[in-house]
Amino acid sequence: MKTMCHPLRSLWWAILLIIIVSANSATDEAESAVPINPDDEPHPDPNEENYPGMIYIGRHDHHDGKRTGFHTDNGVKFIYGTGFDETHKEIEEKDLHHAHYGPDSEHDIADRAHGKTREQVLHEKRAGKIDLSKGPKPYGWFEEHPLDGGMVPPKVVRVDPFFMDVAPVTNKEFGKFVRATYYETEAEKFGWSFVLSSFLPNAENLHEAEVDPEAEDWVAVDGAYWRNPEGPGTSYKYRENHPVVHVSHRDAAEYCAWVGKRLPGEREWEAAARGGNVGPKNRTLYVWGDDQTTDAAKEYANLWGDGDFPWDNKAEDGWRATSPVKTFKPNLFGLYDMTGNVWEWQRGGKHKKRIVRGGSYVDSLDGSFNHAATLGVRATLHGTTTTGNVGFRCVKSPKRKEEYHWVYDNEGSGTAELVLEDEQGNRKQRQTQQNQQPQPIDLYEDDDEFDEEVIHDPTQPRPDETRKRVLAVKPRTVRSDEL
């Protein structure tokens, strides 16, 4: 007589099989989510990464000229700040190779250049030997040189490698962005923008127009924006290869985000502008050297020249306003218009004091009017400012391997899950079907939780040691608050 399997027994075996398969798939998913040893994962080779119209700024091998990988320090160190302060010559060459780890990491570079360690400076401060009459400086204090606005005194800084656009963004490139996204610039929203007084199509408007209280030569013109650079009746059509102007800080950041890039940091920008002349012996005042004559400058930069500003521009360099990108000679890295033509928006700063670098066609060589167009030239503008001499270019960070760090999981809930962190540092966890029921509250409990002192039992693990720790992805995206 044949025996028949009980239906409940068949159902039981089916449920058990489903549980085993689910457990194996969950294990495989967890193992694929986090490598067994993340440190064994190699860094991407920077030599295999290239982008059209961009130049790599980073350390190269002295023997074969290839880009140095991320297995070692491949950033750029240089002397950052104004070119008019001669104290940069006191910085020793070894400071550019100073490592921020090991036994020498306790020394401050800027003070060590003058023969003092950080401990000696602190000792003098406590002993009252330092003049503190000027009071403490707030965080982020930036002392500007009166001629070019660069940092005083210069100091050694470091930046990670990056890719930079070879030239500023042009009207043609910005037009593609506007047509693809229907973007409206802030100058269009406000209905006006600043135009240089000598460029007004109708001179009668000069007596009636409003001017910038901090720069009286710039006039607020209704209807001026990137398509109408000098206002109604003017056009960008014959200037498609000129840098786009009348763009705010947000407009520039929106464009860079659209093309998968970002605005450069000002230290990144200066590292690229100096073109490898980073030491105390080869650091120059301008892209072309230290010659302050117009004949030397007109080969490399679009500046105002020897005429009287703002009415007499003799156009020694061939241009009275913006010029097409790549018109002048590039720097040693192959980057164009790093001095003159248009100011360039930078990442960071505050909304009321956004940073611009590079100078523009209205600047001079020696600072006799406007800014001195040195490699350290720097200014700040309100983030919504739009004028006819401010543009931008974009940068991009090279790819790096994902790095992990330990984070506490669920604050000791007992369920181990992978915790991911986004660019803002927000924790993201998988949803679980286990819903913890709230514990009932006894309204008649007389004991006060603060009456008895809680003494930890040393034989038992501490509460913070019982929490689960898991590996989470460590974000490396360079962020700021442009958008």
- For the stretch 104-146, pLDDT in tens is 444 444 444 445 666 776 677 667 665 655 566 666 677 888 8
CA separation for the pair 53, 56 (Å, rounded): 10
Whole-angstrom CA distances from 28 to 39, 40, 429, 472, 474 are: 20, 19, 18, 17, 22
Phi and psi torsions of 421, nearest 5°: -120, 130
Whole-angstrom CA distances from 26 to 80, 183, 220, 427 are: 52, 45, 64, 21
Strands 215-222 and 192-196: antiparallel
Q: Residue 68 in contact with residue 47, Cβ under 8 Å?
A: no
Structure tokens at 367: 């600072």
- Average pLDDT of the chain, as a whole number: 79
Spatial strand order in the sheet of 54-57: 54-57, 162-165, 395-396
pLDDT tens digits, 144-186? 888 998 988 899 999 999 999 999 999 999 999 999 999 999 9
Mean pLDDT of 190-206: 84
Q: Residue 382 in contact with residue 213, Cβ under 8 Å?
A: no
Tell me the chain's radius of gyration from C-alpha atoms.
Answer: 30
Mean pLDDT of 275-292: 90
Q: Where are the beta strands (DSSP E) in 360-416?
A: 378-381, 390-391, 395-396, 403-409
Q: Residue 366 in contact with residue 372, Cβ under 8 Å?
A: yes
Query: What would the DSSP string read from start to end of 170-200?
Result: BHHHHHHHHHHHT---HHHHHTEEEEEGGG-
77-81, 334-338, 479-483: the lowest-pLDDT one: 479-483
Most confident region among 82-86, 353-357, 451-455, 466-470 by mean pLDDT: 353-357
Residue 394: predicted pLDDT: 97
Residue 89: predicted pLDDT: 82
203-217, 245-259, 300-314: the lowest-pLDDT one: 203-217
Residue 170: predicted pLDDT: 98
pLDDT tier, 282 (very low <50, low <70, confident <90, very high otherwise): confident
Read off the DSSP letter of residue 372. B
Structure tokens at 473: 């992805």
Percent of the chain residues topping a pLDDT of 70: 66
Whether the pLDDT of residue 31 is over 50: the answer is: no
Residue 108: predicted pLDDT: 43
pLDDT tens digits, 293-310? 999 999 999 999 999 999
Mean pLDDT of 463-475: 62
What is the pTM assigned to this prediction? 0.75
